[in-house]
Structure 1
Amino acid sequence: MHARKMRRYAAIFTMLGLLTTTLAACSGGGSESTGPAGKEQNEPLKSLTYWVDLFPDAAAIMKSYGEVTAWKEIQAKTGVEVNFQHPAQGQLGEQFNLMVASNKMPDVVDYGWNAYPGGAQKAIRDKKLIPLNDYLEHAPNLSKLLDENPEWRKMASTDDGDLIGFPFIREDVTQQVFLGPAIRKDWLDKLNLSVPETIDEWYTVLKAFKEQDPNGNGEADEIPILIPAGELAFAGAFGTPNDFYQENNTVKYGPIEPGFKEYLATMNKWYNEGLLDKDFATTDAKMTDAKITGNQVGSTVMFLNGGIGKYMDLMKVSQPDFQIVGSPYPTLNSGEQPVFGHMDNPVTGIFAGITGSNQNVVETVKFLDYLYSDEGKLIVNFGKEGETYKLVDGEPQYTDAVLNNPDGLPISQAFRKHIMGATSGPFVQDVRHTKQYTIKPEQQEAMKLWSGTTQEKKMPPITIAAEDSSRYSSIMTDLNTFKDEKILKFIMGTETLDNFDNYVEMLKGLGIDEAIQIQQEALDRYNSR
């Protein structure tokens, strides 16, 4: 690996008197330091501009994160005014690209910086992003976290060892699962069936859902399972996700492996027998909502809060028996531990990056590092003591302002109104927040079940080299278009699986071997970080 040439900036400054003991501990004496723009940084930070996507649930009830109780409290504690800039809803990527192409950027940009053309390393080379390596003496809280968790440091770095920015970190494995297979428990109980674990058990259950009228309306209108083509929860059972994976540090591509043909054959069988929703290829979120609340869908893959929690809340009055539970990721053989499943990395890839336009780098570093302190973590995850949480035996407990909102806000929006921990940002998401946010027993049990995958073949958060990025992107754009079209045809039977080998050859012709090699080089670099 190329070692990064270190640039040392010599001095530490006293932060605002309003800063807490934790933040004040970050500040040293009063000599001068010069930032990249050449401006002396001997004055405390008064304000900064902060660009970040406004989460849709938040956008429904506020114009800016400046309205969030936790952000108000952070600003009161530090004396730093945060001026938020939010891209238009649904235009995150486009507006990020327009912004980085301009000469003047906000002080902090909160984004998945590896989506920058050529990755975060290229953004650093282009002087759009300032890596944190030279500033860690001003960030003792983040430094301690990364020293104690070397894998987090790897995930937060480029291949050259540059720290990209202040990361969003999920501290516990249960927080890294929020999506997985789920099934109607009341239907299972009615038909005297258990939660399925193997693909064969799934077939038995889906047949019963199709043939035994579990919704009790006397019509054969049940949709036993509603999942998209290539769904990881089921493709993974055959050892081949619909993506790249690694075996003993060797990169493979699932859709060309023999196991993927077995997966397609199973889906084709389910489709032909009416077990898989006949409209699976065209069903959008709105149609999914209608089918689930219309008491038609027996199983699917859904979110913990935006799925299990949401639908059970919606149905509790009209249909009190309605119950959705998580199910284990399916395997081929009984007793096997599933390998693949939807699981995010602890360092998610979203970073509050300090931009090349920032005139007060050292003071911005100190400010953002405060959010990783014990006090900062409490505020971002729980808000304001006495208003949105109280301490019970030393443990923070949300008040009714959040859990039983007096304005009638649904719990997801009440959380967004008061805290940052329900979205993402430059902080550690507290597991004590998650336990109170995800409160239904069905959700808690699903978190445990979905956490039970080995993930041993998962690709880590690698970065495609800048010099390979345009070629790689070109290959994968054409390849994905062809592959996705073929997968639909194989599942729906408009093309026979006798053509699978020919399909693999077509993918090779489109450059999949070269794409695998580019991924392999990226994995090797990641492992050498």
Structure 2
Amino acid sequence: MKKTLMGMLMTLLLITTYLSGCSGESGTSESKSEDKGSSDKANALHLKVVIPHFGGDPTGTIVQQEYEKEIQNYLGTEVKIDWTRIPWAEYTEKTKVMLTSGDIPDVMLVRGQDNIIKFGEQGLFVDLSQHIDKMPNYKTYIDATGNNEQYLMNENKQLFAFYDGYTNPTDIEPSQYAAAYRLDVFQKHNIKVPTTLDELYDAAKQLKALYPDAYPVGQSEQYLEYDGILSANHTAGNIYWNGEKYVYGPTEEAYKEALIFLNMLYKEKLLDPAYWSDNMDEAKTKATSGKSFIYPLLWSGYVADFNANKQAGVTWTLAMGADNPKYGKAWKYGSEPKGKGLSNGSGLVISAKSENVEQIVKLLDYQYSDKMVDLLMWGMEGKSYEVKDGKKQFLPALIQSDDFVGELAKLGVSASMRTRPGIVFTPQERIAKYTSIPDVMFYHDGKAQMENYWFASDKYGGKESIAPMDHAPKMMFTKDESDLKANTMTPIETYVKESAVKFIKGEMDFSEWGKFQDTIKKMGDYESILKLYNDKVQQ
């Protein structure tokens, strides 16, 4: 009770802080832009802004300073911003109180399109569809987003947010996820780095014989669950787009085959019993202490963390996910699209009570211009990047430093993902993002070498590794439709998840698969939800 009361008081204090415009600590920081000495202060644009931060405050960095200069030159007036930056982990909860109270700043990031639509329809946010002619830069992102009216707007074609944008000026569609193997151990015992599920099984058996106290196959994060195996079988653990229509993965034979494979690993003690509970901290300990040797899927950046442990002295390598020849090339997890576009999971909104709405629209739209995207994502030429053979690249001195990402963050370069200048979210230029990380070990075709894991995943995976769900038609559901989905699918998904664990552990026999499918049907009309999805594709 005391903790709850304290949390409420802290949230109220936060609201009071941003309304009063006072300064605070960097954790939920507020800092005012410096007075630029404008001779016409009466026309100054004065804003209160609430946005998340990701560990680094951009105030005073060269990119933030250049950003402030640019927006003032573009608008032709002094711009004074009172910033409230809330840690990302706390952002949703703390801003929920602001939205519910109706007391919001001039501009804020709102997470969840359901919140954006809900509070927009209540009149809390400016309807940007009425200002579309004043948003030439943002409109290019809207136009490039498939099925944009249904995906970004409500039923009345109202647009309430500057949604999270991306731009990829190349043809690559890479992923930041891959398989990972303890390369030094594989090489020591002359074990083949797997390219198929059968080879993964054989490698795990050899490793178990050599290290009986270890469980060769581990899990890095619970949210990935069985995706490394499901992707090899060209299926998923939920409703997904299969390239032609939406289907429910757990009803497919390929899903059953994935569970059979995992059950085989479990029965032979090749699969870590903590597979369902391990988080990254626990996985890292096992990866560096000889308790795990194989991760069918993990975030690629973790391999650098494993190998950085000099005391452990391990060598891990990334590789493309193991294939199941029956289905072809394993799907990559979360391939990123080429070109420009918008994601509707969060967006910047403008308070309907704000003055100078046209100026605010103009400011936020400017953040979607190529010039500002380059500034925020790459920084400044000669200070953070250079142009070589017509292409931008981060300065070699930064790349070769002991902490490349940290050096980018100090400059305020958004590609660092630690320090985010401007009014975030601003569009991410993918090449800056891809090249803002150090190279890591990547294994392919019998050899391992240092490579950029984004580019390696595209180069070695090819187009056939792009999962169809990553090109799924974009759509949005009404509140009633979302409620119907949740009411129908939540009990089914809970049952499926619990049953999958039982099948893998052998607590349910695969002879009961038909009964399992019948129970899914009895628990809810999932086929009507699939019809809802597929009908929207036809709209």
Name the TM tier (shorter chain): 0.7 to 0.9
Distance in structure 1 (CA, Å) of the matches to 2:154 and 2:330: 30
CA drift of 1:392 comes to 4.7
Matching of residue 102 in structure 1 with residue 114 in structure 2? no
CA RMSD of aligned residues (A): 3.4
CA positional deviation for 1:74:
0.7
**347, 369, 375: which one pairs with 1:351?**
347
Tell me the equivalent position of 1:437: 437
8 Å CA contact 1:331, 1:337 repeated in 2? yes
* 1:421 matches 2:419: no
1:74-89 paired onto structure 2 within 5 Å: 74-79=67-72, 80-88=79-87
For 1:135-191, what per-residue CA distance to the aligned partner results, in whole angstroms no more than 9, with x for missing partners?
A: 2322222323444x3538468623645444243214156575212322233333334
What's 1:32 paired with?
none
Q: Residue 248 and residue 308 in structure 1: after superposition, are their counterparts in 2 closer, same or farther (change >3 A)? A: closer
CA distance in 2, matches of 1:248, 1:180: 22
Pick one of 338, 341, 351 that aligns with 2:330.
338
Deviates more, 1:389-398 or 1:91-100: 389-398
Quote the offset at 1:49 in angstroms.
2.8
Contact kept, 8 Å, 1:479 with 1:512, in 2: the verdict is no
> Partner of 1:295 in structure 2?
290
Matches within 5 A, 1:386-465: 386-392=382-388, 395-399=391-395, 402-403=398-399, 410-417=403-410, 418-423=412-417, 425-440=425-440, 441-442=450-451, 443=453, 444-449=455-460, 452=463, 453-458=465-470, 459-465=472-478
Please tell me whether residue 524 in structure 1 is matched to residue 518 in structure 2. no
- 1:370-413, CA deviations, whole angstroms, 9 ceiling, x for partnerless residues? 222232122111224443334456544434785466xx7x4444
Q: Determine the structure 2 residue equivalent to 1:253.
A: 248
What secondary structure does 2:315 align onto?
Answer: coil
- In 2, Cα distance between equivalents of 1:355 and 1:520: 37
1:4 is matched with which residue? none
Q: Residue by residue, what CA displacement relative to the aligned partner does 1:5-43 show, whole Å, maximum 9, x if unpaired? A: xxxxxxxxxxxxx99xxxxxxxxxxxxxxxxxxxxxxx8
1:404/1:230 CA distance change after superposition, 3 Å: closer
Query: How big is each residue's C-alpha offset from its partner over 1:410-434, in whole Å with a ceiling of 9 and x where there is no partner?
Result: 4444434421234372223241442
| Structure 1, unpaired ranges of 5+ | 1-17, 20-42, 214-218
> Letter of the aligned partner of 2:528 in structure 1?
Q
Query: Structure 2: which 5+ runs fail to align?
Result: 1-34, 37-41, 73-78, 418-423, 441-449
User: How far apart, CA to CA, are the structure 2 residues paired with 1:524 and 1:259?
Assistant: 25
Asked whether the 8 Å contact 1:463–1:522 carries over to 2, the reply is no
**Matched-pair contact (CA < 8 Å) for 1:388–1:402:** yes
**2:138 paired residue number:** 142
Say whether the 8 Å CA contact 2:246–2:533 is kept in structure 1. no
Q: How does 1:304-315 map to 2 (within 5 A)?
A: 304-305=300-301, 307-312=302-307, 314-315=308-309
Q: 2:165 pairs with 135, 158, 168, which one?
A: 168
- Does residue 178 (structure 1) correspond to residue 172 (structure 2)? The answer is no
1:111 & 1:356 partners in 2: Cα distance? Answer: 14
Q: 2:316 aligns with which of 323, 332, 338?
A: 323
Using the alignment, how far apart are the partners of 1:489 and 1:372 within structure 2? 49
Given that 1:177 and 1:450 are in contact with CA atoms closer than 8 Å, whether structure 2 keeps it comes out as: no
Q: What are the superposed Cα offsets for residues 38-73 of structure 1, whole Å, 9 maximum, x if unpaired?
A: xxxxx8662333333322xx2xxx4x4445543332
Q: Which residue of 2 aligns with 1:225?
A: 217
Distance, in Å, in 2 between the alignment partners of 1:154 and 1:185 is 48
Question: 1:493, CA displacement in angstroms?
Answer: 1.5
Decide whether the 8 Å contact of 1:104 with 1:357 is kept in 2: no
Does 1:367 find its partner at 2:355? no
Confirm or deny: 8 A CA contact 1:340 1:457 kept in the other structure: no
**Match status 1:481 vs 2:494:** yes
Is the alpha carbon distance of 1:114 and 1:287 closer, same or farther for their aligned partners in structure 2, counting shifts above 3 Å? same
Q: SS in structure 2 opposite 1:86?
A: strand
> Taking every aligned residue pair, what percent have the same amino acid on both sides?
18
Deviation for aligned residue 1:193: 4.2
Q: TM-score, normalised by structure 1?
A: 0.77
Seen in structure 2, the aligned counterparts of structure 1 residues 454 and 398 have a Cα distance that, compared at 3 Å, is: closer
**Corresponding residue for residue 381 of structure 1:** 377
One-letter amino acid matched to 1:85: T
Give secondary structure in 1 for the equivalent of 2:152: coil
In the TM superposition, residue 203 of structure 1 has moved relative to its aligned partner by 1.5
Is 2:124 the counterpart of 1:124?
no
Check whether the contact 1:142–1:372 (CA below 8 A) recurs between aligned residues: yes
Decide whether the 8 Å contact of 2:233 with 2:330 is kept in 1.
Answer: no
Structure 2 CA distance for aligned equivalents of residues 457 and 68 of structure 1: 39
1:283 — aligned with what?
Answer: 278
Equivalents in 1 of 2:237, 2:181: separation in Å? 22
Q: 1: distance between equivalents of 2:187 and 2:304?
A: 20
Q: Give the direction of change, closer, same or farther, for the CA distance of 1:381–1:133 in structure 2 (3 Å limit).
A: same
* Residue type of the alignment partner of 1:445: A
Deviations 1:296-330 (A, max 9, x none): 3222122232x123323x13x34666131222352
Partners of 1:522 and 1:358 in 2: CA distance: 37
Structure 1 CA distance, aligned partners of 2:363 and 2:272? 51
CA distance in 2, matches of 1:507, 1:374: 49
TM-score by length of 2: 0.75
Number of residue pairs aligned between Structure 1 and Structure 2: 464
Q: Return the offset for 1:266.
A: 1.0
Q: Secondary structure at the match of 2:271?
A: coil
Distance 1:152 1:414 in 2: 39
Shift of 1:75: 1.1
